[in-house]
Each structure stands twice: as C-alpha cells, then as structure tokens.
Amino acid sequence: MTALSYAPGAPRGYVVADLGGTTLRIGRIAAGSSSVEAVRRVATDGLGSHRGLPAQALQDRVLAQLARELAAYLGSPEGAGASAVGVSFAGPMTRDGTVLAGPTLWGGAAAPLPVADILTRRLGVPVVVANDITAAAWRYADAEPDPFCVITVSSGIGHKVFRDGEVLVSGSGHGGEIGHWRVDPAEDAPLCECGGRGHLGGIASGRGVLLAARRAAAVDPRGFGRSALAGPAGGDPAGVTNADLARAVRADDAFATRVLRGCLAPLALAVTCVFTAIGVRRYLFIGGFAVAVGPRFVTLLGDEVTRLGCFGLSDEEARGMLALGAADDDHGLIGMARMLVRTLPVTAGTGGGA
C-alpha cells in the first residue's frame, strides 16, 4: 500500500479520469469542488478503434493508454502536486478495483484487470478506481435526498441505485449492469458489445438506436427518404449518425422518433422493473445519447413507462420519476473527486470500488 500525507490545512487537489468506450477524459479538481479544470480528451484506444483485435490485446492497449495519459498529466503543470488519482472505469469491478469485464472497451472475455494496484505502482500516488456509473451516482448523492437510480445511455447502458448512503453493488462486482439484462430472447436479436444477444444495452444504447435506425432505413427506403435523416446521410442508411438521429428526434421527425420509441420500450420495462422490485422513484438519465436527445428522451420514455404502467402510481407520478442529469460529460470526473474525499483520509492509501 502506498501512503501519502498532506500538509496540515493544505487543500487537496486530485487528478481524475473517466475512461469510456469512446473517450478518455482527464482533468484536475479540488476537493469539495464541483468544477473540473484543464480537461484533456482523447479517443479511447480500444474496441471502437480496433474492432479486429482480440479482447486481450484490446485490454492491453486500453490499460497502456490509461497509464500513459495519466502519467503525462501528472507530469504536466496542470497535474503537478496532485495528492491522488481517481479513475472512473466503464465496466463491472470488485470492491478492490479489479475490473471484471469491459464490454464497450475490449468487447469479449479477457483476464480480470487489477487496475487500482497496477496504476498505483506505475504512477506512485494513491489511486482509487470505481465503476463509471458508481462515480456518477456519487456526483448526485448530496443533491438527492431520497433513493435514486442513475442510468447512463451512451455507447452502452449501465445503472446504479444509490440508497442509504451507498451504491447497491456487491463486493464481488455484481449488480448495476442492467445493460446486460437479456430483454429479447430471439436468436437473431441485436448483438451486444459483450458478445451476447438481446441485451438491453445492445438495443437501447446510442449504438443500439443507431443500428436500429440504419436497419429501418434499409427496410423502409421511402420513409427514410422523407425523413430528416436522409439529407445529412446522403440518402445512404449507413451514413446516419447519432448526432443526426438526436437532432431529428429533437425536431419531432416521425421516422427517427418511431425508431427511438421502439428502442426505448425495453428501457421502460427496466425502469418499471426496478421500481416494482425496490420502490425507487427517482431516475436520472445521463450519457452522451440521452443528453443529445434532451428533454424529448424523457418525454418519449415516459410515454413507454405509462403505457406499461407502474403499480400503485398514476401516469403523472410515473412520468415524474424520470429526469435528465446534468448536460455535460463530467459525471465520472466530479463523482470520482467526491469518492476520493470520502475514501482517502488525511493519510491516504489505495483502493477501489464497485
């Protein structure tokens, strides 16, 4: 274990990183602050950039990039003097910071990765690693008086429930991975990044909705041709992008909206399942795709939730459970800083979190 003592009365500053399937973000933040500064963004060197490589090779690339970029940041004027590092990681993990899988980072099965221990040795400062949605939940912990559920809709889907001062995840890393709930048992159901079929994340994530839109465009060329998606795509279904899709939904384009509604149906089922099972009545949606669609995302999802019904709630109460989180990509960064404050005492050690 590496230890670090802080000068009495000196404010603590942290370097925080958020490793997602698309982007690696690194910045600095002062203890107690809700504003991240000097953020650097680079494309994640994983599945999205090298789909032909095996999972283990991709895992090696992702870890090497993370260590390299963190070391460079710590050695820069922006990161100089940081007392600890926090890493928000897109994947299920054990309480000691061992990542068990990285569906959006390296796809299929690879060896368990003790990220916290590896980075502590390489960087020479205390490192705390947590699942990205766990970190996001801590961003909202002080502002939400009642139990709540954070659901990210981006390159994949994940969730965490925060209740009674903690995130409800087992020490072995189980829980909070509703994106890998199989909602479509068909043999030809959409493929998830993890290799499974019919998972919620393969259907209702940004990637899932994009693939659904391209399939719909190929099946219904006339409808596609009349939609707001055709022009930016040059009339080619393969040219549709998530940005175009979000823009079309915001403009209430019928074709794009119909595609999104179909993809949101299983997400609504997930919300009603969590509510019915444990009674959580607050759902915050974050992630690049949900934020890009904006308030229409919550409106359309609310349509599906009320269509299904929430036992014991009126339609108005059911819609009132759904809200967008902050319209930025700093959830993991701010949340990790708040976790560091709670995790590292005046004399700090290393650790991880699910």
Give the model confidence (pLDDT) of 129-143 as tens digits. 998 899 999 999 888
What gap in Å lies between CA 321 and CA 86, rounded to an integer? Answer: 31
Mean pLDDT of the 253-268 span: 97
Where exactly are the structural domains of the chain?
A: 4-138+330-353, 177-281+288-324
pLDDT at 352: 59
The per-residue pLDDT for range 319-344, each reduced to its tens digit, is 999 999 998 888 889 999 988 888 77
The per-residue pLDDT for range 43-60, each reduced to its tens digit, is 999 888 888 889 999 999
What gap in Å lies between CA 174 and CA 180, rounded to an integer? Answer: 12
- Backbone φ/ψ region at 287: left (φ over 0), alpha (ψ -120 to 50), beta: left
Q: Which CATH class is domain 177-281+288-324?
A: alpha beta
| 3-state class (DSSP) for residue 220 | coil
What gap in Å lies between CA 125 and CA 189, rounded to an integer? Answer: 45
CATH number of this structure's domain 4-138+330-353: 3.30.420.40
What gap in Å lies between CA 31 and CA 84, rounded to an integer? Answer: 11
pLDDT at 115: 92
Mean pLDDT of the 106-123 span: 91
Tell me the two tokens of residue 272: 């009603």
**Residues near 322 by Cβ (< 8 Å), separated by ≥ 6?**
271, 283, 285, 298, 301, 302, 305
pLDDT at 8: 36
How does the average pLDDT of the chain come out, rounded? Answer: 89
Name the band, by pLDDT with cuts 50, 70 and 90, for residue 195. Answer: confident
pLDDT at 3: 30
What gap in Å lies between CA 127 and CA 348, rounded to an integer? Answer: 10
Tell me the two tokens of residue 341: 């404050």
pLDDT at 351: 54
What gap in Å lies between CA 178 and CA 293, rounded to an integer? Answer: 21
Q: Which ranges in the chain belong to alpha helices (H)? A: 55-74, 115-123, 132-140, 200-204, 206-219, 221-226, 242-250, 254-278, 288-293, 295-308, 315-320, 331-343
Check whether 6 has a pLDDT greater than 50.
Answer: no
pLDDT at 341: 85
| 3-state class (DSSP) for residue 242 | helix
What gap in Å lies between CA 229 and CA 220, rounded to an integer? Answer: 13
Name the band, by pLDDT with cuts 50, 70 and 90, for residue 353. Answer: low
Name the band, by pLDDT with cuts 50, 70 and 90, for residue 184. Answer: very high
Name the band, by pLDDT with cuts 50, 70 and 90, for residue 251. Answer: very high
Check whether 302 has a pLDDT greater than 70.
Answer: yes
pLDDT at 93: 87
Name the band, by pLDDT with cuts 50, 70 and 90, for residue 12. Answer: low
pTM: 0.83
